[in-house]
Homo-oligomer: A and B are copies of this chain.
Amino acid sequence: MHDDFTTIAWTPQGTIRLIDQTRLPLEEVYLECGTVDEVAHAIRTLQVRGAPAIGIAAAMGLALGARTIRETDHAAFCAALEQVGDQLIRTRPTAVNLAWAIRRMLGVARQSRELPVADLKARLTAEAEAMREEDIRINRAIGGHGQALVPNPARILTHCNAGGLATAGYGTAIGVIRAAAEAGKRIKIWVDETRPLLQGARLTAWELTKAGIPATLITDNMAGHFMQRGEVDLVVVGADRIARNGDAANKIGTYSVAVLARAHGIPFYVAAPISTLDLSLSSGKEIPIEERAQTEVTEIGGRRLAPVGMRAANPAFDVTPASYLDAIITERGIARAPYDESLPRLSGEA
């Protein structure tokens, strides 16, 4: 496999370097963030996106912010750190991993009462780096479990970008694809362009091109046609939130792909880390669907497509019922139905 790109990393100077996803796929530009404000801006403007990647960016941003706190008393330091955390959480209040990452960092700070504050600041930078490396290990484990489900050869369809760009690296659904390629399987990828924001055409297409994995871009409405012609062997996608019963929220269009896959007898897999599980929700009906700006549908890149005054709907996600999932691929192994038994077991709750 060709090598590749780094979504986010510490520089030797202690700043954060991240790939600007708003400039992809035409330009591969890296940003350097040296302050909390710069990290917050990068998250807010979608220069870094994807729930796991945002979580890592926030943890690293918090470590940056910690360095500028003047307090030397542990309790005062932690109070100041919480304020920095609140600033980062506010950048995208709905991203679950962001709040989770800040909580984990604050927990480390609070539990390190014995450390001098100067050492604690270094400890936080190390913790953020550990989270970054852990995320890549999780994705490699997902890839390893998932690639066992990929026949050889295989034509795989994916939707949106559940790739290295959405994580600290390697990706979840694209992790399965990368692992199959690394195992020497002859694979070919169908990339749904994923309107309205074109994460497939822009980001997945770019990642697969970089990785040297053969891929063909299609508009979302072509998926059924190629399934009908027998040219799709399996589907693998990511997830944004998975309920206790296995219902999975993911980028709008995922549900349609799942129904089409079922109608053609094609296996449909969701690849996601354990942290995506929300066992507090009994079913996908409880997952709120974010409605985004109509202009994302009526315009592309500021260029108006639809007549002035035309109303548009723009749900950012849909929910695929567990009955359409052939398996959920996690870093701890593969969950099968009934998911309300397999998911709590894998998560360590049951």
The reply to whether A217 and B306 contact each other, CB–CB distance below 8 Å, is: yes
The reply to whether B205 and A228 contact each other, CB–CB distance below 8 Å, is: no
- Chain A positions 256 through 288: 1 when the CB is less than 8 Å from some CB of chain B, otherwise 0: 110110110000000000000000000000000
Residues from chain B with a CB closer than 8 A to the CB of A257 are 221
Answer yes or no: A175 CB below 8 A from chain B CBs.
Answer: no
The reply to whether B219 and A195 contact each other, CB–CB distance below 8 Å, is: yes
The reply to whether A224 and B304 contact each other, CB–CB distance below 8 Å, is: no
A145 → B minimal CB distance (Å): 28
- Report how far A308 CA is from B198 CA in the complex, Å: 15
Contact of A312 among B218, B298, B301, B311 (CB under 8 A): B218
> Known contacts being A216-B313, A217-B298, A310-B215, is A305 close to B193, with CB within 8 Å?
yes
Answer yes or no: A103 CB below 8 A from chain B CBs.
Answer: no
The reply to whether B259 and A217 contact each other, CB–CB distance below 8 Å, is: no
- Chain A positions 196 through 240: 1 when the CB is less than 8 Å from some CB of chain B, otherwise 0: 101001100110010000011111111111101000000000000
- Report how far A219 CA is from B256 CA in the complex, Å: 12
The reply to whether B306 and A201 contact each other, CB–CB distance below 8 Å, is: yes
> Known contacts being A259-B263, A263-B263, is A222 close to B307, with CB within 8 Å?
no
Answer yes or no: A70 CB below 8 A from chain B CBs.
Answer: no
- Report how far A306 CA is from B200 CA in the complex, Å: 9
The reply to whether B253 and A218 contact each other, CB–CB distance below 8 Å, is: no
- Chain A positions 172 through 205: 1 when the CB is less than 8 Å from some CB of chain B, otherwise 0: 0000000000000000000011111010011001
A339 → B minimal CB distance (Å): 19
Contact of A252 among B195, B205, B225, B253 (CB under 8 A): B225
Residues from chain B with a CB closer than 8 A to the CB of A344 are none
> Known contacts being A25-B307, A26-B304, is A195 close to B221, with CB within 8 Å?
yes
Answer yes or no: A12 CB below 8 A from chain B CBs.
Answer: no
The reply to whether B25 and A198 contact each other, CB–CB distance below 8 Å, is: no
Answer yes or no: A318 CB below 8 A from chain B CBs.
Answer: yes
Answer yes or no: A303 CB below 8 A from chain B CBs.
Answer: yes
- Report how far A107 CA is from B262 CA in the complex, Å: 51
A310 → B minimal CB distance (Å): 5
- Report how far A25 CA is from B310 CA in the complex, Å: 10
- Name the residue on B nearest A221 (C-beta): B253
The reply to whether B217 and A311 contact each other, CB–CB distance below 8 Å, is: yes
- Name the residue on B nearest A25 (C-beta): B307
Provide a sorted-by-A list of 8 A–B residue pairs whose CB atoms are within 8 angstroms: A24-B307, A217-B297, A221-B257, A224-B259, A225-B253, A225-B315, A228-B255, A256-B256
